[in-house]
Amino acid sequence: MQTRVLFFGKLKELTGAAEQSVELRSGATIADLFDRFSNETPALASYRSSVVASRNQEFAPWSTVLEPGDEIAFLPPVSGG
């Protein structure tokens, strides 16, 4: 199944792309998707505990099972004042 993935902030810098389209197996979760990118870009793994994920522009738990055509965004923590 095809899934659109968006990266923001530092995650975008690490992956070298703001957006990617990937093919996933049926039953894959948001956590599986992040793990896939962490395997390709090991520096991502250190952000796992602080990253928030959204599915189709709504925050979603890591255990969310993906559907064909989903848009997943990974958002790092934001700091500033």
Q: What is the pLDDT of residue 5?
A: 98
SS3 29: strand
pLDDT band per the 50, 70, 90 thresholds, residue 79? low
Domains and CATH numbers, the chain: 2-75 (3.10.20.30)
pLDDT tens digits for range 40-54: 999 999 999 999 999
How confident is the model over 5-25, as pLDDT tens digits?
999 999 999 999 999 999 999
Entry pTM: 0.92
- Give the pairing of strands 58-59 and 19-23: unpaired
Q: Per-residue DSSP letters for 28-76?
A: -BHHHHHHHHHHHSGGGGGGTTT-EEEETTEE--TTPBP-TT-EEEEE-
Q: Is the pLDDT of residue 62 over 90?
A: yes
